[in-house]
């Protein structure tokens, strides 16, 4: 049996789920650095694959073991998703 879908609610005029809005204060206060790379994709269009590829291209010379030593959600954080630590 599949788990129930999250409830959608109106968030500043956009239909959202709480998983993407519980971290909103951190998103609003986020300050990008000049060397940050923003990855914007449509849902289910290869976002994780794109993150792996860009991370590999950017860090393969300086940190070759990064791909196997650090999980993708720590290497490429999703601003809209709050993943509890620990």
Query: How confident is the model over 12-35, as pLDDT tens digits?
Result: 898 888 888 888 888 888 898 998
Q: Is residue 60 part of a domain?
A: yes
Q: Give the single-character DSSP code of 30.
A: -
| Mean pLDDT across 54-83 | 83
User: DSSP letters along 33-83, please?
Assistant: -TT-------TTSSHHHHHHHHHHHHHTTT-TTHHHHS-HHHHS--TT---
Domain range for 54? 36-86
pTM value is: 0.61
Q: Looking at the domain assignment, is residue 24 inside a domain? A: no
Secondary element (H or E) of residue 15:
strand 14-17
The answer to whether residue 45 is domain-embedded is: yes
The total of structural domains in the chain comes to: 1
Within a domain: residue 67? yes
On whether residue 72 sits in a domain, the answer given is yes
DSSP state of 32: -
């Amino acid at each position: 049996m599949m788990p129930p879908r999250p409830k959608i609610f109106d968030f500043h005029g956009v239909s959202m789920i709480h998983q993407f809005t519980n971290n909103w204060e951190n998103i609003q206060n986020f300050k990008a650095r000049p060397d940050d790379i923003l990855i914007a994709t449509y849902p289910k269009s290869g976002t994780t694959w794109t993150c792996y590829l860009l991370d590999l291209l950017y860090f393969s010379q300086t940190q070759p073991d990064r791909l196997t030593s650090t999980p993708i959600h720590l290497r490429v954080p999703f601003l809209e998703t709050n993943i509890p630590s620990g």
